[in-house]
Structure 1
Amino acid sequence: MSGPPGIARDIALVGAAARELRELAADPERSRSGEEVYDFSIRWGTLLMGRLQRVEHYHRRGELAPEDERAYRALKRELREALPLADRLGLGRPPVPLDEEP
């Protein structure tokens, strides 16, 4: 079964942003830079409200391919782990449920 086009890319882009968030939060100089945090927050918010919500939409409809479903579950774990960092930097929280699924 193949899912909607572009889903793997959406998941990859949000995952890359989560890794970038960890790097930003780990660097005291960068994380204190209001300009750098602001620039990242714009990209972060765009990815969460666009790409992530798109993946969640297809997930809820049961239209993700099995490999995309596994990648999405892994992404949600990664986002759950990044929440404290996002909160510390004053960034938006993912607008999708991040709880474990059966």
Structure 2
Amino acid sequence: MGEPGASEDLELLEEQVRALRELAGDRPDGARIYDFGVRWGTFLAGRLERLEHYHRSGGLSVDERERYAGLRSRLSEVLPLIEELGLARPRVVPPDD
């Protein structure tokens, strides 16, 4: 069993990556990008950093480690969208293990 809240963090971050893809496909205006960017930055600074800490300290379950590796891969895939929209770049990609 992993750290409390890790599965929820993974779910929320996976949802944010899906939302980022949708946003980029919609040709959003500046206000929508700004609103998304605020949430995006909060998730990266809080939940993603916490997951990275759990990952490095061995606090994730086997399933959570697999999901986290998949999340980091997806984050790496969306880096061009992140750059295009001018959003904060995650510090934990590309996968390093």
1:71 corresponding residue in structure 2: 67
Question: Are the aligned partners of 1:3 and 1:63 in contact in 2 as well (CA < 8 Å)?
Answer: yes
Which one of 80, 86, 89 corresponds to residue 93 of structure 1?
89
1:52 corresponding residue in structure 2: 48
2:2 corresponding residue in structure 1: 3
What is the letter of the counterpart of residue 4 of structure 2? P
RMSD between aligned alpha carbons? 1.0
Gaps (5+ residues) in structure 2? none
CA distance in 2, matches of 1:34, 1:97: 26
Deviations 1:35-54 (A, max 9, x none): 00000000000000000000
Deviations 1:52-95 (A, max 9, x none): 00000010001110000000000001100011000000000002
Post-superposition shift, 1:97? 3.6
Runs of 4+ in 1 over 6 A off after TM superposition: none
Post-superposition shift, 1:100? 4.7
* Equivalences, count: 97
2:58 corresponding residue in structure 1: 62
Gaps (5+ residues) in structure 1? none
User: Identity of paired residues, percent?
Assistant: 46
With the length of structure 2 as denominator, give the TM-score of the two structures.
Answer: 0.95
Rg larger in structure = 1
